[in-house]
Amino acid sequence: MKTYFDCIPCFIRQTLEAARIATSDEKLQEKILRGVLRSVSKMDLSKSPPVMGQYIHRLIREISGSQDPYKKLKDSFNKLALDIYPDLSDRVKKASDPFEAAVRFAIAGNIIDSGAVHNLSKSYIIETIEQALSQKLSGNIEKFRIAMNLAKKILYIGDNTGEIVFDRLLIQQMPNDKITFVVRGYPVINDATLIDAKTAGLTDIVEVIDNGSDAPGTILENCSKEFLRHFSDADLIIAKGQGNYETLSNADKSIFFILKAKCPVIARNIGCEIGSLIIKDSNSGSQFKGSRFKVKDRPASLASESITGR
């Protein structure tokens, strides 16, 4: 997906919010803001929004000296999700269709996105999760179910901290031995990394790898050889969240995007209302036709490791 004009104000808002989280020094905040403003004026709008997001957060880390500005926030999201996990797990088990209930909770968990939604409150997150079972689900869940059952190798690309606890609900309704779960290679915004996957309990049930990248999405040319091998070998890819949709919507693979549409640009691109629970099959919809991204193997510039557990 390309970057739209409407994305630009969001970049500036996110820069200021993140700079204030990273440092209380107004001179450093100004330096960050001016650096981003210069770069935004020259950015290639044909690239996906996470390309600019990657630059923004690299600059913030460099200038502020904080390698993980959102660490405290991420820990709080993980704790909140783990606190309500037992109740949600019980509700999934008792549901008439446990798989659908788990899909709904997993998508609703995508609300935990500090890049798209600022100052998320505990009550708002819980309210969003509670609404998931009654809210309209846009997309073909039966096609998703069939694809999951037929697939031999499933790559599940995660998104945010806290949210991945809700992904665990869905993964437990899937054939675990087929699944490799993916997190970011390095901290960026509140996206999940290996330590978060361990905290969420995912490393106990599936293989977990990182993608070797610090982008708030999946920019294939930035990813490690290990990730690209898994991406190439998978016959089904599940991609969570807006950042993964933005970066992979033109990938030449069978992908089910599952996300909550949180901004007007994404909603317009998908063709849905803001706030919708989305299951989007990459093999359907006009926005997925046309140019295709060819996966290129490349030497990994960032370290990548895996944690395997059953």
Per-domain residue ranges of the chain = 7-64, 71-307
Q: Which residues pair with 154 in a beta bridge?
A: 179, 236
Q: Tell me the C-alpha distance between 295 and 35, whole Å.
A: 31
158 alpha carbon, distance to own chain's centre: 5
Residue the block writes with tokens 């694809």: 147
User: What's the pTM value of the predicted model, to 2 decimals?
Assistant: 0.89
Q: pLDDT tens digit string along 44-56?
A: 999 999 999 999 9
Does residue 289 have a pLDDT over 60?
no
Identify the sign of the CA torsion 150, 144, 292, 107: negative
Q: Tell me the C-alpha distance between 32 and 44, whole Å.
A: 20
Architecture of domain 71-307: 3-Layer(aba) Sandwich (3.40)
Q: Is 304 exposed, middle or buried (0-12, 13-18, 19+ CB in 10 A)?
A: middle
Mutual angle of helices 26-42 and 49-64, in 10-degree steps: 150
What is the pLDDT averaged over residues 126-144? Answer: 93
User: Residue 284: its pLDDT value, please?
Assistant: 67
Contact 56, 37 (CB under 8 A): no
Residue the block writes with tokens 């978060």: 196
Q: pLDDT tens digit string along 194-206?
A: 999 999 999 999 9
Nearest to 103, CA basis, from 27, 15, 169: 169
Q: Tell me the C-alpha distance between 299 and 182, whole Å.
A: 19
Name the residue with higher pLDDT: 287 or 114.
114
User: Residue 118: its pLDDT value, please?
Assistant: 64
Q: pLDDT tens digit string along 212-255?
A: 999 999 999 999 999 999 999 999 999 999 999 999 999 989 99
If you ran DSSP here, which 8-state letter would residue 3 be given? P
Nearest to 231, CA basis, from 283, 157, 310, 306: 157
Q: pLDDT tens digit string along 174-189?
A: 999 999 999 999 999 9
Token digits of residue 67 = 């390698």
What is the pLDDT averaged over residues 103-130? Answer: 86
List strands edge to edge, sheet with 255-260. Answer: 137-138, 277-281, 255-260, 236-240, 154-157, 179-183, 207-210, 306-307
Nearest to 244, CA basis, from 195, 192, 172: 192
Query: Going by C-beta distance under 8 Å and a sequence separation of 6 or more, which residues neighbour residue 24?
Result: none
User: Residue 123: its pLDDT value, please?
Assistant: 87
Q: pLDDT tens digit string along 57-91?
A: 999 999 999 999 999 999 999 999 999 999 999 99
Structural Rg of the chain based on CA atoms: 18
Nearest to 183, CA basis, from 205, 198, 170, 204: 198
What are the backbone dihedrals phi and psi of residue 91, each rounded to the nearest 5 degrees, phi first? -70, -35
